[in-house]
Amino acid sequence: MDLVDTKKSFLAVKGQFFQMFATFLVSIIIFSLVIIIDDLPSVTGMIHINRVCNRVLEVFLLIVSFSVFFISYFTYPQTNHNHSLIAGFTFLAGGIFYWIMVVSFPSDLIAVETADCPKNTLLIWSLIRFINGVCFSILLSVKSDSKALIKRRYLFVTAAVVVVSGYIFIKMPSVSPDLIMDENGLTTISAITTSFISALYVYAFIRALMVFIKTGDVVYKVLTNAFMLMFFSEITVLAIKHVNDHKSLLSQLFLTASYIFMFYAFYIQNIRRPYLLLTKAKEELDGYLTELDNLVDQRTNELRSINEKLLADQEIARGMQLSMLPAEMPGNEYVAFSSGYIPAENLSGDFYNVFKIDDYQYGICIGDVSGHGVSAAMLSIFTFQKMQSLMEETGAQGMSIPSMVLQHIYESFNAANFNDDMYIVMLYGVFNIQSGIFSYASGGLNTTPIRIRPDGSIQELDNDGFAICKLGNLLKPKFVNHQVLLFPGDKLIIYTDGLTDARNSEGEKYSISRLKKIIQKYNKWGADRITDALVHDVKKFAGEKPADDVTFVVLDVLPPF
């Protein structure tokens, strides 16, 4: 039994370190072969070919450098991984130096080697590798426990300082070609510098290996291979006798392979891993909804079999969303409300609510969220919950000022972990039956409330406002309160764009002009009659299932007699 356990342990260790061992073995073999054949007469005359290959590899390294930077930069708001962001800016600095080399391609590919070539080529190579070695050695020495987010503009400034300083150093007259390479190869200063960079990569390799052994994180396993190849790249540089000999080309190949490993590590850390965590969270949500489904089934006894008990996630979310909509409209002898609601799908992106704030004020909200389906339903439920929590915390005072309500929802939305492409457009208003004033603020709803007078004349109200979206770090919008005085006999209709944008089979829009005609036709009737007429006319025009949700609310200021 002990022998079996020992064998299993050995196989597990072999599987963990096989990739590193294979990388080391292949690198040793290739390095030895190039050292042997580099001095052969048949290969010493291939300088021009090697120069072309070096330039092609530099283009590839330029692309990979900027790719790593873009991955770390644009995923940082979601991952908040500081080490990854700093490393990405390190690759940005290296990519700029590669770009400096790339812009001189035409002349370098045609011209014969000059005295400046070792300076302009080897010096930039060494500078890039020195920056990489220092950065990764420091990052692997410091734990990434800080929850504070880094201001990315500071890193842009730091990268700019590094690039400018390096460029000035390269162009210094005192940095002559003789200090870098002579007829025997690298000078003593170059050899010492290259050895120091090699030591940095050895240190980074050891740190990454220790973290991998401790945590088993595959990212650090990939990094160990990358640092090993970077080390071989520097060792190969020590043997260079000419800037474009076979050893210089091999050094570039080692570095290119290490960059490929680096790119894969950044892909795992910043793209694949968050996606897996999101998938796991979705599975947990699916499990929660299934448990909720079973609980509903037990309490209601509406389902007769196990297959009927397992409702789809969409059906459960639909029930949760519909439960948020008002079962009946409030009202009294001074005001009446009515609503029309035609969902395009089982789960709607539209929402509305009318509720009593106190004895004299009624709150009205209507809105639309991005998309349809489960995500839209969850977003509309979020809006309802935030308004309900604000009502519970502040009472009538907090719900009486529409702009403050929208400001609260905007801040709560940006504090939540929604995707950047999700948003809410809505309008919230308060009608005071004592003063007859309807106060409202717009959160980006792109339709204009319609006021209709007893004589049938129509007024479109102002409705400018900022959508509730994920721009809290950039913008702090000021929501504006609007007011309109409603007299007895006046009616007010608030609606989403699904009403006027509904299309028939010929692609024609329902249009605001048709909406006005229906309102004027039934203006003498009450709010419920207008609602029934609008719903009937929309279904007649666009069918039972329009392309977008149709939602509207009718406010009717009742005459005294």
Task: Give the three-class secondary structure for 552.
Answer: strand
Cβ-contact 124, 54 below 8 angstroms: no
Between 124 and 203, the higher pLDDT residue: 203
Instruction: Give mean pLDDT, residues 51-74.
Output: 86
Residue with tokens 């990388």: 23
Tokens 């006319």 — which residue?
Answer: 537
Here the tokens at position 135 are: 């950065």
**Does residue 94 register a pLDDT over 90?**
no
pLDDT for res 443: 93
**pLDDT tens readout for residues 238-249:** 888 777 777 888
* Highest mean pLDDT, choosing among 47-56, 241-250, 417-426, 486-495: 486-495
What pLDDT, on a 0 to 100 scale, did the predictor assign at position 144?
65
In the block, residue with structure tokens 């043997």: 239
Compute the distance between CA of residue 440 and CA of residue 402 in angstroms, rounded to an integer: 6
Structure tokens at 115: 């005295």
Regarding predicted confidence, which is higher, 262 or 295?
Answer: 262
How do 550-557 and 335-342 pair as beta strands? antiparallel
Q: In whole angstroms, what is the distance from residue 400 CA to residue 440 CA?
A: 10
Sorted by where each starts, the structural domains of the chain and their CATH numbers stand as 20-279 (1.20.1070), 329-557 (3.60.40.10)
**pLDDT per position as a tens digit, 354-401:** 999 998 999 999 999 886 666 777 888 888 888 888 888 888 888 999
pLDDT (mean) for 252-275: 81
Q: What percent of the chain has pLDDT over 70?
A: 84
Q: In this structure, is the dihedral angle defined by the CA atoms of residues 147, 151, 157 and 159, taken in order, positive or negative?
A: positive
Q: What is the pLDDT of residue 283?
A: 78
**pLDDT band at residue 304 using 50, 70 and 90 as cut-offs:** low
C-alpha span between 530 and 524 (Å, rounded):
9
User: pLDDT digit string (tens) for 332-341?
Assistant: 999 999 999 8
Mean pLDDT of the chain: 82
Q: Is the separation of the CB atoms in 338 and 528 below 8 Å?
A: yes
Q: For residue 534, is pLDDT > 50?
A: yes
Predicted local distance difference test score (pLDDT) of residue 372: 67
Contact indicator for 349, 372 with CB cutoff of 8 Å: yes
- pLDDT band of 111, cuts 50, 70, 90: very low
| Distance, CA of 147 to CA of 81 (rounded, Å) | 9
